Structure 1
Amino acid sequence: MTKTARVYGGSLYDLAAEEKLDGQIMEQMIAVRQIFRENPGYLKLLGEPAIPEDERLKMIEEAFGGQAERYLVNFLKLLCERKILREFAGCCEEFIRRYNSAHGIAEAVVTSAVKLSDTQMEALKAKLEKLSGKKVYLVQKTDASVLGGLRVELEGVQLDGTVQSRISGISKKLNELVV
């Protein structure tokens, strides 16, 4: 994430929190980010210098004006005017980071060989909430190289209970014994 994204995303968060719209704006930012990801040509079009700025701002207004919070629409226009709309995803990350921090939410990424069931996810979430003392939002990823077990990253700490990790640990101990 760039410094620009941190500054702009943080500023929008401060405004949204002051207006008690932080949750609503965060949901809308995530939706807009997804639209930009699914339609990269649209983002490129909004940054095209050959199109007059007032036309690009009009396109933002038509696309989001009737559906998104006014502060978010104006934020998108500001990024467009300053020719930094490509920083929107980073602004979104910073906004979410600040929101989570302010609301005692920790994001955890769980990686497993196969998709976990809802019951398993709930049990893991409860265990991580007890461990961290925060509300945990789980993001699930699958990676066949994990073989079995789970790898969880929570607030910069990696908890590795994978078969791969255990095999590496055993291998390391055996190498130390042989020396």
Structure 2
Amino acid sequence: MFAKQSLIKNWSSAITTIATENKKVEEFLSTARDLNALFLKDHEIIDFFSNRSIDLQDRIKMLDKAFASKIDVNLLNTLKLLICRNLFQATIDIFRQVITDLLKVSDSLYGTVYSISPLDSATIKKIESKLSNKTNKKVILENVIREELIAGILVEIDGKRFDSSVQGKMLDMRRKVIINRK
């Protein structure tokens, strides 16, 4: 099922408004990221909650059982509404838009730090702090493992790359050699 962009934006706008009014933007942002990652990782969850062959009340009970004590009641009710309106297939798209909208509201940037091995949270916090000072916005980073980097890290935020990997330095040297050859 392909959801219309207007439908996705309307649901996202409603969730963002609730988060802003309840002063829970950071909590909703974190939960939206977690839910999106969960649904992307295990598409069977979406298939289950979208399955109309399973009784509506059973799907809602299962949702309560899985998320009741873990997420905000407003987000839980949103998920229930998506089930009731047969729109659960659009949750990934909706929560992707929610993340984008909440980042705008909180004046934050979301990015990825690529490394050859997992970085500890203290290191990620240091990188976030340095990039926050550089961009004048709060930076939230997710660590992704990329073994082809050789060494160092690569950070991507808002379409910009900050590359301090050996691979990146080698590519820079290659570009300089090619430019100087001409």
Smaller-chain TM-score bracket:
0.7 to 0.9
Structural mapping, 1:80-159, within 5 Å:
80-159=83-162
Shift, 1:153, TM fit? 0.9
Shift, 1:107, TM fit? 1.9
So what's the TM-score if we normalise by structure 1? 0.78
Tell me, in whole angstroms, the C-alpha distance in 1 between the residues paired with 2:15 and 2:122.
36
Q: 2:167 is matched with which residue: 164, 167, 170?
A: 164
Shift, 1:37, TM fit? 5.5
What amino acid is the match of 1:82? R
Q: 2:178 corresponds to which residue?
A: 175
Q: Is the 8 A contact 2:25 2:106 kept in 1?
A: no
Q: Any idea what SS the aligned residue of 1:86 has?
A: helix
Q: Any idea what SS the aligned residue of 1:139 has?
A: strand
Q: 2:22 corresponds to which residue?
A: 19
Shift, 1:155, TM fit? 1.8
When residues 141 and 68 of structure 1 are mapped into structure 2, their CA distance, relative to the original with a 3 A threshold, is closer
How many equivalent residue pairs? 179
Tell me, in whole angstroms, the C-alpha distance in 2 between the residues paired with 1:146 and 1:97.
28
What residue ranges of structure 1 are gaps of 5+ in the alignment? none
Question: How big is each residue's C-alpha offset from its partner over 1:79-122, in whole Å with a ceiling of 9 and x where there is no partner?
Answer: 11222212223322322322222222222311122333555434
When residues 62 and 115 of structure 1 are mapped into structure 2, their CA distance, relative to the original with a 3 A threshold, is closer
Q: Is the 8 A contact 1:10 1:91 kept in 2?
A: no
Are 1:45 and 2:76 counterparts? no
Tell me, in whole angstroms, the C-alpha distance in 2 between the residues paired with 1:147 and 1:106.
27
What amino acid is the match of 2:44? G
Greater Cα radius of gyration, structure 1 or 2: 1
